[in-house]
Amino acid sequence: MTKGINPELNIGDKIVILHMGEEPNVVPIGTKGEVTGISNTPWGIQYQVKWDNGSSLDIIPEVDFWRLEKKSIKESMLDDLKKKKDVLNIFKYMNNPDVVLNFLFSLQSSGITNMLELSNFLTMGSNDLRRFLIGRYSDEEIEDRYEELIDAADPMRNEVISGLMNYMKENDLSYDDMDKVNREFQKFVKKIATAYFTSYDMLKKRFNNSNSDS
């Protein structure tokens, strides 16, 4: 199959028909539509489509040909911004997200871990971090190079926990079951890690601007 022709579709995808089989009232070439449903039939997948010309004819991969509708540069940029905004919403639950960002930027600069594992460090307090470093570095190295990072761990963890409580309250999640609270804690720190990875440049710029103003 030619690249870009008949890609797998999801509900909500916008497509353009390139060819439709010999059905009555065939949808004209170039007509745009939105996928509204997906059916697994004995003969394979069929996609339900709401066409701009008012038709609701299904498309069948073995018979019909389509491509995804290309978004304009403006639409793509708006989509990217919306995704980043959704991801960054995790910081709205914190009273002072700069405390968390300061720790993460310092952690990255320290080189003590692969940043893909940063969600693990968001659960550590100062004592936990010190135990992590002992055995990997000498006492002199820890004192000279990592004391500021260790000191930043407790305020970071307290801020994350405070954010979690605000998040759970807003989403009507109960604090009664500690196993559930721990599961939500793990999800919460992973969302922070995702925001850090996907929006690093934006977060760094905001952090620098915030600290230069203070």
Residue with structure tokens 């290309």? 70
At 113 the three-state DSSP class reads coil
Give the pLDDT score at 90. Answer: 93
Count of Cβ atoms closer than 10 Å to residue 184 Cβ: 19
For 49, the token pair is 């489509």
Rounded to the nearest angstrom, the gap between the alpha carbon of residue 51 and the centroid of all alpha carbons in its chain is: 31
CA distances from 27 to 10, 11, 68, 101, 200 (A): 20, 19, 16, 53, 45
For 156, the token pair is 């970071």
Give 156: exposed, middle or buried? Use CB within 10 Å, 0-12, 13-18, 19+. buried
Give the pLDDT score at 213. Answer: 64
* pTM, full prediction: 0.62
**Per-residue pLDDT tens digits for 77-112:** 666 666 667 788 999 999 999 999 999 999 999 989
Q: Do residues 69 and 57 touch, judged by C-beta distance below 8 A?
A: no
Query: What does the alpha-carbon distance between residue 107 and residue 112 come to, in Å, rounded to a whole number?
Result: 7
- The more confidently predicted of residues 132 and 207 is 132
**Per-residue pLDDT tens digits for 6-47:** 899 988 889 999 888 766 678 888 899 999 999 888 778 899
